[in-house]
Every structure is written in C-alpha cells, then in structure tokens.
Amino acid sequence: MLENEIICYLNFLREEKRSPETTLNSYSKDLEFFAQYTEEHNVAYLKITKEEIRAYLKYLDNLKYSKNSVSRYLSTLRGFYSFLIREGKVQSNPFKIIKNPKKEKKLPNFLQPDELNQIFDTIDISTDLGLRNRLIVELLYATGVRLSELTSISLQNIDTSANVIRILGKGNKERIVYFGDYAEKYLIQYLEDVRPRLLQDKSNQFLLLNKNGNPLTNRGVQQIVDKIVQTAALKHHISPHVLRHTFATDLLNNGADLKSVQELLGHASLSTTQIYTHITNERLRSVYLNAFPRQDEK
C-alpha cells in the first residue's frame, strides 16, 4: 500500500539521510496529499503514467497552488519514486521527465535598521527567559542560521574563543558561522548564569532550553519571536527566517561578496543567494536617484 511505502521512505530519510524533522513533516504532508489523490482518482501509483501526472498537476493548478508549491510537490515525488526504484518497486522514475514550472521570484522580506533595533529594545533581559530570548534574536541575526539549525546547536558546536559555531545544515553539510560582540555578550551570560538555572537537574547538550530544562523546539522559538514582534508593535509579519534575510541583505549592503554570503547561509547554489542582489540593487538605485544631481525635477 502507498501509505506503507511513504512510512518506509520517511524512515529511510530520517535514519539514513538524517533529514531534519521540518523537512520530513513537509514531505509527509506532500505524500499524504498525493496518496489521497491517487485513491480518489483510481490512480495505480506503481504504474502511474505521464498523462496521469499531468492530470495531477492540473488538479493542483485548479486548487490555486503557486508554481513554487507545485515545484515542491514534484521534487518530493521525484525523491519518493527514486526510493521506490531502490526498493525494487518500480523500474523507472516517471517524475524525472516532468519539468518543474518556472519559479516565481519573490523578494525576501527583511528588516530596516530601526525595526531591528525596536525588536532588540523590546526584550526584557532582566529575567532568565528574557535574556535567553535576546540571545535567540541576536544569534538569528548575527549568524543567518535557519530555525532548525539554531535549535540543533549543541554546546560542543560553539567556540567562544573564536566566536564561531559549527552548523550542520541541509543535506548533512557542515559549515562554520560567526557571531560578533553583541551576540557574544549575551551568549556568555546565558552559558554562565542562565542555562545552568534552566537546566536544573537535567542533562542535555543543546544550547537553547525551555523553562523546564528541555531543548527548545522550532515551534517554541517561533512562538517566542512572534511574542517579541507583537510587543514591539511592528506592522508586518516577522519570522525567524526574516532575520536570516536581514543578515544576508545587511552583509551585501556593507560590501560582502556574494560567494561569501552563499557560504555563510549554507546555500548549495549561488543562484539561490542571488535573489538578495535584487534587494541591494534596488537600494543602490534609490541612492543614485536621490544623490545624482542631474535629475529632472518632477
């Protein structure tokens, strides 16, 4: 049954590929949706044809799924059918001959300096949880790490003498990120004073802990950031990923080269990082138009 194959595939990704839970949750939803479709439309998934795949894509289009979402569904199914080949269930991968729709380029949302300062100033660092929360925001902005990477940081990954953290990113790829004086200040205070109190009599190596001494989850960090943003009374939605976008944008605006930013973000392809140049180019254009004297007055 397709449901059993999906469970086996997710276990394979978890145990052998060590895929993060966020990725597994996303794949699970995509594959469950596909399983429901095949059942409702009498599609034999082991013998699915090119025409049936196109009908499925048309179905997604009718449901108003974005091109980016459709691309994600296709990528998920390509991986799943490659697994079915490995297991000897199918002879070929029918999704490999289907091209992804052209992705919609959406400029990343990022924070202006005054908005970033407003977030920092909102956090009450007089309490243990408040100082931990300040550290969370400082690290997200200072390092540009993904949410799942932040919650996975363990004590042995951190070198406070060199201000570096070893990160295990997508595809099990390791990289080094750096943090500056502000993050260092709150990190050391957290490690020396706050974390031991949060840990109580428990034992674990994760950097970020909740009030019960357990590792903070992705959802927990998201809720913390949501509450900080709400208190700061900012008008637009800000997620941990927006701080990652702000990190990359600020680096480029201050002269960092694209290749270095790619490595710091852990992007596999330079083309993924290039979207940030659209933001910095718009800023340069604005500076030029405001500063260049030979402009028509309108």
Q: Is the pLDDT of residue 290 over 80?
A: no
d(CA 235, CA 108): 16
Tell me how far apart the terminal alpha carbons of the chain are, to the nearest angstrom: 68
Torsion of CA 113, 116, 118, 122, to 10 degrees: -160
Range of the domain at 11: 2-97
At residue 238 the predicted structure's pLDDT band, cuts being 50, 70 and 90, is confident
- Do 89 and 167 lie in one domain? The reply is no
Domain count, the chain: 2
**pLDDT per position as a tens digit, 93-117:** 999 999 888 776 666 788 888 999 9
Residue 108 counted as domain residue: no
Residue 71 counted as domain residue: yes
Active site residues: 146, 170, 241, 244, 267, 276
Domain end (from 97, 123, 138): 97
d(CA 197, CA 189): 12
d(CA 96, CA 78): 6
d(CA 190, CA 128): 8
Q: Between helices 275-291 and 240-253, what is the axis angle to 10°?
A: 50
Q: Which of 192, 209, 110, 112 shows the shortest CA–CA distance to 153?
A: 209
Domain end (from 68, 97, 126): 97
At residue 292 the predicted structure's pLDDT band, cuts being 50, 70 and 90, is low
Please, what is the average pLDDT of the chain? 90
**pLDDT per position as a tens digit, 45-96:** 999 999 999 999 999 999 999 888 999 999 999 999 999 999 999 999 999 9
Instruction: Spell 253-282 as b/e; 16+ CB within 10 A means b.
Output: eeeeebeebbebbbbeeeeebeebeebbee
**pLDDT per position as a tens digit, 184-231:** 999 999 999 999 999 988 899 999 999 999 999 999 999 999 999 989
- Do 91 and 117 lie in one domain? The reply is no
Q: What is the CA radius of gyration of the chain?
A: 23
Return the CATH number at 213.
Answer: 1.10.443.10
- Do 157 and 75 lie in one domain? The reply is no
Return the CATH number at 66.
Answer: 1.10.150.130
- Do 86 and 126 lie in one domain? The reply is no
Predicted pLDDT at 106? 67
Predicted pLDDT at 170? 83
Predicted pLDDT at 5? 94
- Do 81 and 120 lie in one domain? The reply is no
In sequence order, what are the beta bridge partners of 168? 174
- Do 277 and 166 lie in one domain? The reply is yes
Residue 295 counted as domain residue: no
